[in-house]
Structure 1
């Protein structure tokens, strides 16, 4: 998810920033660059909590950490995460890495995963909806917001929830469906929402009072709610991949600390929630 996993779903467009169409074969056949004078990052300029032009997102901060580790200046190529994002950025070779990509997305080569997270339920404090799986009978007739075409939609329908949908494919310069979903909870239009974990944790904490986030770690519906997030690069760049994997291995604790600052629900390799005081590396 990250930036939907809309490349695969919603952990992409409004979450992970990974929209694309196909791989440019001519570009893929070009030799790997030997030297990198800058860390050139492909990113959406209006996609918090991941990235924005003011560099306030957690992927901005991780990119800065990477640039400092490499000893190179950090530069961005900004593009809205709409159809063609990968093709018009990474595959044109105007930038070299997308900071948040769901593992297994075929149009990029992924680094090792640098975090795992899970779709989560957001409810007001004091809500009587206390679930960690979407097959819970207490969801019957409850007003729940969800982004269209994302993994929670089908199990929510099966559970009998009254769904309020928000669009998946949007230009982030003009639409903010995630914010709409959060504002509807605050206004009492919905009783909760099921969103990708990093988005849920970030926006829930922005409210006054803060909303409650319940990671759906015990889900038994078979829906794909957990994702491993990597850094996406072009195919055919093994040295660049090794550089990123080495950075992730050495700086995992620093990465986890940044993610904790944004209230990202983190999972260990077994899919269990990592406690705030024990954010170990993968």
Structure 2
């Protein structure tokens, strides 16, 4: 009983101390300064707009800690107590405590609207045979490409980069526009907005018909420090009460929105 009481007391103290790390005077966001269309240090990304909305609801200003979304991002921002929330993080990742998800999206195939691949809906489509497809190396769709014999002609782009110096997604879309590749596969929340803004001749096709693993859709949450349950619940409440405005921001940006099971498209893919 004494041991149990001591452990309970220690856990309570730790919990209180952890909660005290969250700023009460600013909505402190950990973000990449050059990860447009998600975030950038000019405030143009849809995650910037989401941060503005949440800060407004909390009645405090937004305060950013900028760090490239690459190796060491969480360690040097959230875990270092430099900030309190990552605006977009895949559900279930162990490096953070996830809030409830506020949207679901998927990887997309980007092709010419008027080209021979405009009717493709799955990577098993015979129309993709012998085509050259751009793919972020090591991303989940690469497994499906290999399964369907599409890797041999693929053009790979780097996965972990400092976006201040290298931009794989825009480079891939530029290559598609030049005809260097026949199609591009991108994470939808990046590819959809980029296509909407700068490539009106392209079609965005969410890859929701792949039946074998790995899955190509993900539920997106906000990430907070492990143990910050009070802060997590507060953000969950804000998500629930403001879901309509969140959806509107994402739709306006061109993010492909899916149902929770990743089986049907709810929002604009183009």
Partner of 2:235: 244
Q: SS in structure 2 opposite 1:98?
A: strand
Q: Separation in 1 of the partners of 2:172 and 2:68?
A: 20
Change in Cα spacing, 1:159 to 1:132, as seen in structure 2 (3 Å) is same
Partner of 2:7: none
Q: Separation in 2 of the partners of 1:142 and 1:221?
A: 22
Q: TM-score, normalised by structure 2?
A: 0.88
Greater helix share, 1 or 2? 2
Number of equivalences = 251
Q: SS in structure 1 opposite 2:154?
A: strand
Change in Cα spacing, 1:145 to 1:250, as seen in structure 2 (3 Å) is same
Q: Select the residue among 137, 151, 161 that pairs with 1:170.
A: 161
| Ranges in structure 2 where 5+ consecutive residues have no aligned partner | 1-13
Matched, 1:31 2:25: no
Partner of 2:74: 86
Supply the RMSD in Å over aligned alpha carbons.
Answer: 1.8
Give the superposition deviation at 1:222: 2.1
Matched, 1:264 2:255: yes
Give the superposition deviation at 1:141: 0.9
Matched, 1:226 2:217: yes
| Ranges in structure 1 where 5+ consecutive residues have no aligned partner | 1-26, 278-282
Worse-superposed segment, 229-238 or 130-139: 130-139
Give the superposition deviation at 1:208: 4.5
Matched, 1:43 2:31: yes
- Matched-pair contact (CA < 8 Å) for 1:134–1:221: no
Larger radius of gyration: 2
- Matched-pair contact (CA < 8 Å) for 1:133–1:220: no
Q: Separation in 1 of the partners of 2:212 and 2:123?
A: 7
String of CA shifts for 1:222-242, please: whole Å, max 9, x gaps.
222000000000011111001
Q: Select the residue among 103, 117, 139 that pairs with 1:115.
A: 103
Give the superposition deviation at 1:28: 8.9
Partner of 1:74: 62
Partner of 1:57: 45
Partner of 1:197: 188
Q: SS in structure 2 opposite 1:206?
A: helix
Q: Separation in 2 of the partners of 1:43 and 1:28?
A: 25
- Matched-pair contact (CA < 8 Å) for 1:133–1:221: no
- Matched-pair contact (CA < 8 Å) for 1:151–1:225: yes
- Matched-pair contact (CA < 8 Å) for 1:122–1:192: yes
Q: Select the residue among 131, 147, 154 that pairs with 1:158.
A: 147
Partner of 1:5: none
Q: Separation in 1 of the partners of 2:58 and 2:50?
A: 12
Q: TM-score, normalised by structure 1?
A: 0.85
Q: Separation in 1 of the partners of 2:225 and 2:148?
A: 40
